[in-house]
Chains A and B, each alone.
Chain A
Amino acid sequence: MPDPSFLFAQALSGLTVAMFLFLIASGLSLIFGVLRVLNFAHGSFYMLGAYLAWQFVQWVGTGPGRFWWAAAGAAAGIAVLGGLVERLLLRHLYGKDELYQLLFTYALVLILSDVAKVAWGTGQLSVSRPPGLDGAVRLAGTVVPYYNLFILLLGPAIAVAFWVVLYRTRAGRLIRAAALDREMLGALGTDVNRLYTGVFVLGSFLAGLGGALVTPVKTIVPGMDVEIIVEAFIVVVIGGLGSFWGTFLGALVYGQVLSFGILVIPRFSIFSVFALMAVVLILRPWGLLGRPLR
């Protein structure tokens, strides 16, 4: 039996991973739920969010509060980019074979990865933790940075905010209606096109925000786009594509399987999450909390 404080540390690190993943995957799941497009470029938006945040930090400096402005600016920038992509390009592929939409978002992955290389080079960039959150605290025998605690609180906060928007506002009701039957919603007089743009913008915003907030704990490197999109896919598949709480649950499961999988089968920890994904797809293709899709 391993030391309980060690287990606690593993669980906590899994939980931190989960909160980041939730931030990314919730946008992916939202876009799929409403637009029925599996957006490979979601990871690229996350990566660009990280690069933009780094860029803004270079411009505004590292004083108190500056990091948050940079992060908000990065997320807003990515939201605008997402809106442009949806308005100008993706819109014309609705109703076509899903292969076309998949390959379109894959083309974006290729293009954006090179754009990032041209703009920021191929080296590693990093952002220091914002003032006030750069310390650490000892919890049950392990050192936990304040910033990680902040992420642990932010994840559930975003989940709750998301839930309020989806289930307690008019916009949320429209989004849920569009996920169920877009034609009927259009027939009832809603501008579905605008709703789609809005959802894509919101999803992109979350990806950009996730990228910006991850910069103090992870170095920014080319390739982080592909890495995160694979993880986010696994999360939404496990939880259920388009299911809100499913994404939350999927992220939690993923984080814990990853951090404890390393203990059980050290060399095959990646294998364990892919295997989990395959098992879920076989037994419940629509995910743990998702609904069967016709």
Chain B
Amino acid sequence: MSRLRRVPWGGLALAAALAVPAFGSRFYTFVATDVVILALFAVSLNLLLGYTGLVSFGHAAYFAIGAYTCGILMKKAAVPFALAWPAGGLLAAALALVFGFFCVRLTKIYFAMLTLAFAQIVWAICFKWNDVTGGEQGMPEVPYPELAWMARLPGLGDLRTSDHFYLLTVVLVGLCLGILRRIVGSPFGRILTTIRENPERAEFIGVDVRRYELVAFVIAGGFAGLAGALFGIFNRGVFPDFAYWPKSSEALIMTLLGGMGHFWGPAVGALVLLVLNQQITAYTEYWPFVLGTILIVLLFAFPGGIVGALDAAARRLGRRR
């Protein structure tokens, strides 16, 4: 057991995240909101990728469904956020149940391709169904939730609305991550790991592999939907790009960058990738080139990602002492 694992990383991260609005910078809050929401998206993907060993190439579908559901409810039906947000997660989970039912029947590369195919179907629908989704133009001007109550809380009165929304996001994402952490550590999570390590053996000891995979798929889809719902509000609009496959690969890259062998890995990956993106796009328009290069270096030199490399380094230090 490495020394690093004893540090309460979750608590530290939460404290750091809550402190961001204190800087009073609009830009910091903007980046931090982006990071927090996409961290949830990437961690939800890692439930499949790192814990169950399922390579989903279409996770963006559930992100987009959450975003569209929450956005449409809030903008067109004036449903309060407290209802629209869970509805986004629920509908994404329901869709994951339908799609996942077919996906878990396939293995390996075919699983990846069917998830991709379903995600492209969702994208095509979002792209073309003008009456409901706004089609190619997307749906701009998703309203902020009612946040006036936060201004009345002590110490929060002089913050901007975007700061209020950020704090709400931190609390909600923190809750979601807490739940996911519990799921991963539960007996259910252990069985997922068993399935990743050896599906045949898991089957042999009486685990209904497909059912467990399906449940993991639904949970991952639901949390991706919750992340998407927050993102639509943060982004002030919902667009078909949310479901397009580069969005799925973005989450894959975050997960790999941070390290898929660790619960917090994808969150670290989201942080590093988005901050790097902000820094680099200020200098050059060729961000894809940089991203591709980072990815190749990562694949060849650090397949365990940032957290994996740090963990290995800490372990080596610990042994030397």
B residues 242-274 in Cβ contact with A at 8 Å: 245, 249, 252-253, 256
* Interface pick from B163-171, B283-291, B308-316: B283-291
Give complex CA distance A100, B304 in Å: 11
Give the contacting residue for B289; candidates A92, A114, A278; CB below 8 A.
Answer: A114
B217 to chain A, nearest CB (A): 15
A-B contact pairs, 5 of them (CB 8 A): A104-B299, A106-B292, A241-B109, A271-B121, A282-B105
CB nearest to A36 among chain B residues: B109
| The 7 nearest A-B residue pairs measured at CB | A110-B292, A114-B289, A111-B292, A107-B295, A110-B288, A107-B292, A271-B124
What B residues does A113 contact at CB under 8 A?
288
Give complex CA distance A98, B116 in Å: 15
Give complex CA distance A164, B105 in Å: 36
A266 to chain B, nearest CB (A): 10
A184 lies within 8 A of chain B by Cβ: no
Is there contact, CB below 8 Å, between A278 and B121? Answer: yes
- Name B's A-contacting residues (CB within 8 A): 49, 55, 57, 102, 105-106, 108-110, 112-114, 116-118, 120-121, 124-125, 127-128, 245, 249, 252-253, 256, 286, 288-289, 291-293, 295-296, 299-300, 303
A84 lies within 8 A of chain B by Cβ: no
- Name A's B-contacting residues (CB within 8 A): 36, 38, 89, 92-93, 96, 98-100, 102-104, 106-111, 113-115, 117-118, 230, 233-234, 237, 241, 267-268, 270-271, 274-275, 277-278, 281-282, 285-286, 293
Is there contact, CB below 8 Å, between B106 and A274? Answer: no
What A residues does B102 contact at CB under 8 A?
278, 281-282
What A residues does B106 contact at CB under 8 A?
281, 285
A109 to chain B, nearest CB (A): 7
Is there contact, CB below 8 Å, between B289 and A115? Answer: yes
Give complex CA distance A38, B293 in Å: 19
A7 to chain B, nearest CB (A): 24
Is there contact, CB below 8 Å, between B117 and A110? Answer: no
Is there contact, CB below 8 Å, between B114 and A282? Answer: yes
Is there contact, CB below 8 Å, between B289 and A102? Answer: no
What B residues does A234 contact at CB under 8 A?
117
A284 to chain B, nearest CB (A): 10
Give complex CA distance A96, B120 in Å: 27
Is there contact, CB below 8 Å, between B292 and A108? Answer: yes
Is there contact, CB below 8 Å, between B299 and A274? Answer: no
CB nearest to B101 among chain A residues: A282
Is there contact, CB below 8 Å, between A230 and B299? Answer: no
